[in-house]
Amino acid sequence: MNILVFGDSIVYGECTPATDCWVNRLRMYLDKKYDYKSYVHSLGISGHVSEEILTRFDSECKPRHRPERDGKTVIIFGIGINDTQDLDGQDRTSIEDFKKNIGALITKAKKFTDEITFVGLTPVDEPKVKNRFSSSTKQYKSYFNEKIIKYDNAIGQICRGQQVQYIYIFDLFTSKDLADGLHPNSEGHEKIFKRVLEELKL
């Protein structure tokens, strides 16, 4: 099989050793199980939001979609945490635009495969992330769990309506599983990996 994982810094594995990231754990597991006859492409870019993934989706998916050589294509999305950012009191992505983007990604993905999965959002340690994430322009950024839950619920609702798999992971985490209050540490990534593997039944 050929697995494409689109996402942000959590898919990329920021703040954790490369081998500990849940996407790379999945690759190593499948390499061992299928004797290196499966492919896992990590397409996570730090800071990306749903609109940016929508913009780059076709150009990154097309050259990696090779069913005649690699078998079935599986597309996984791990996105949304950056969309929930509060920027100086403004939404980085409004909930209305976020829903449109998720729907558009599903439409695009269905042109390549019916095997589509969205991995849900992770919580944050609010006191730890407060004032920590700021740009060079000193723009205030923060994350709030109440808002993250709202966007996570939107992903789940859209997936159910479109008959697309959604994997809930918010319940897995405590503050001990977050390296900097936002990004999962090795233990957090292990939890994501185990939940994803269980739900995907690969």
pLDDT at 45: 96
- Where do the structural domains in the chain lie, given as residue ranges? 2-200
Asked if the model's pLDDT at residue 61 lies above 90, the reply is yes
Going edge to edge, which strands form the sheet with 2-7? 39-44, 2-7, 73-78, 116-119, 165-167
Mean pLDDT of 43-47: 95
User: Model pTM?
Assistant: 0.93
The per-residue pLDDT for range 159-197, each reduced to its tens digit, is 999 999 999 999 999 999 999 999 999 999 999 999 999
DSSP annotation string for 105-167: HHHHHTTT-S-EEEE-PPP--HHHHTTT-B-TT--BEE--HHHHHHHHHHHHHHHHHHT-EEE
The per-residue pLDDT for range 4-43, each reduced to its tens digit, is 999 999 999 999 999 999 999 999 999 999 888 899 999 9
Structural class in CATH, domain 2-200: alpha beta
Asked if the model's pLDDT at residue 118 lies above 90, the reply is yes
Rounded CA-CA distance 61/195 in Å is 25
Strand partners, 140: 134
The per-residue pLDDT for range 123-153, each reduced to its tens digit, is 999 888 875 655 555 556 689 999 999 999 9
